[in-house]
A = this chain, B = another copy of it.
Amino acid sequence: MSGSRPPSPPLNRPSSTRYTIPMQVPIYRYEKSAAEYARALKVIPSGIYGHQGPAEGCFVPVDAFPFFSQKAKGAHFWDVDGNRFIDYMCAYGPNVLGYNDDEVDEAAAAQRALGDCVTAPSTRMIDLAELLVDTVASADWAFFAKNGGDVTTLAVITARAHTHRKKVVFFKGYYHGVTPWTQKVDYPGILPEDVANSVYVPWNDYEALAQAFADHKGDIACVIAQPYMHGNFRDNELPAEGFWPKVRALCDEAGALLVIDDVRTGFRLDLAGSDHYFGFKADLICFCKALANGYNVSALCGREALRNTVSGLTYTGSYWLSAVPFAAALACISKMKRVGLPAVLREKGLKVTEGLKAAAARHGYRLHVSGAPALFYLRLEDPDEQAQPPGTAWTPKLALHQRWIAEMVRRGIYVTNHHNHFLNYALSDEDIALTLAAADEAFSAL
């Protein structure tokens, strides 16, 4: 590719001279991306929707980011201008082994030659359910769909059907998809009825949760939660010591189900499920993103006692039994197990974040790293701004942070200003070294 990166810049320069020499890392321009975006705006509302587009405040400043990719391989993607990026977003999660992983793609291609979306399903569906039951600690069965939201919605319907109760408890800062029950009452098109049975409590606040159970005694169908708070635009928060076992006990006592939304974190923390990682057992657990390395499939797994409830629901979709994503998921989970993925991603995450923190410190900045290393969240502290009081709803303005992120992206390191990151198995030590070199230059440029 004409626009691909030059060889790795020298990393053995003495640190005292490191920031004075001319920039080694190219500064990217996005002329073709801009032209394509203009074309997109004519035929797609907001051009690109969701996190992957510029309309949600995700790209700040917007001219630092590429809009369209041309190709991807391993830990990298190339934009339509030919710029190569070391990708720390991984398509917001699905890329877990590296783009176009040969092992997954070969399994998928072999299934495709036989058939994908057929009137009678393939037995790959059974194989995948068996593998999930073997792999995920809280799984006695599996049900497959397409979106994370398909299975978070199924989990909530299951909880209501099983308990004959209405209320669902959410932790503030949650994200469980876009179906109306997951949205906020002040969002366009959402009705008060859609969220009439939603109860919101602060994350990690057991007393507030217990109070909600007391306030809605006998009415709570389930608590739905991500395994830790990885909301956007603020530092991520791991569960407080003893929080999850107390939540589990509270649900059991009240006869409510505990639903874990492992869509974002699933398989990156623990192949047995993020509930298992944090030492408790969910009743229902939702998987998507990392399940099949980008092939389109999601899964709800659950405990034996809920099997008949799920069997009795009206819940299906056109492509839900497609065989190619099942074959891809079988290969993806098998490889994740073989390589011991969570430990590898944790180690890579620590290397990246320790390196970034050190680079920040060398330039007189303080970089805050939160969440799990495999899904690290970054915030560059602005000396001109008051520090964020932990556990409050106060949101830092992030202006300095966003400028730094923009300098990183322009240097080929695809990071984000407001969202947790995602690591993939293909990220190499050379990629990490290039990342840290770019970080030094990005801090210099601030």
Q: Specify which chain B residues have a CB less than 8 angstroms from the CB of A178 in the assembled complex.
A: 314-317
Name the CB-closest residue of B to A105: B112
Whole-angstrom distance from the CB of A179 to the nearest CB of chain B?
A: 6
Name the CB-closest residue of B to A159: B189
* Residue A172 interfacial (CB < 8 Å): no
Q: Specify which chain B residues have a CB less than 8 angstroms from the CB of A157 in the assembled complex.
A: 180, 188-190
Q: Report whether B115 and A43 are in contact in the complex, using a CB–CB cutoff of 8 Å.
A: no
Contact digits for A157-187, partner B, Cβ 8 Å, 1 yes 0 no: 1111110001000000000011111010001
Q: By CB atoms of chain B within 10 A, which of A109, A112, A142, A316 has the most?
A: A316
* Residue A246 interfacial (CB < 8 Å): no
A318-B72 contact given A40-B129, A129-B40, A157-B190, CB 8 Å threshold:
no
* Residue A67 interfacial (CB < 8 Å): yes
Q: Report whether B318 and A93 are in contact in the complex, using a CB–CB cutoff of 8 Å.
A: yes
Q: Report whether B79 and A120 are in contact in the complex, using a CB–CB cutoff of 8 Å.
A: yes
Whole-angstrom distance from the CB of A314 to the nearest CB of chain B?
A: 5
Q: How large is the interface on A (under 10, 10 to 19, 20 to 34, 35 or more residues)?
A: 35 or more
Whole-angstrom distance from the CB of A331 to the nearest CB of chain B?
A: 14
The complex places the Cα of A160 from the Cα of B192 at a distance, in Å, of 12
The complex places the Cα of A180 from the Cα of B45 at a distance, in Å, of 26
Name the CB-closest residue of B to A157: B189
- Which residue of B94, B100, B197 contacts A319 across the interface (Cβ within 8 Å)? B94
Contact digits for A264-306, partner B, Cβ 8 Å, 1 yes 0 no: 0000000000000000000000001100001110100000000
A51-B179 contact given A113-B100, A157-B190, CB 8 Å threshold:
no
Whole-angstrom distance from the CB of A431 to the nearest CB of chain B?
A: 15
Name the CB-closest residue of B to A40: B126
Name the CB-closest residue of B to A87: B119
The complex places the Cα of A420 from the Cα of B426 at a distance, in Å, of 47
3 interchain residue pairs of minimum CB distance: A50-B316, A161-B189, A157-B189
- Give A residues with C-beta under 8 Å from B: 33, 36, 39-40, 42-46, 48-52, 55, 66-73, 77, 79-80, 85, 87, 89-95, 99-100, 105, 109, 112-123, 125-126, 129-130, 132-133, 141-143, 145-150, 153, 156-162, 166, 177-181, 183, 187-191, 193-194, 196-197, 263, 288-289, 294-296, 298, 307-322, 325, 414
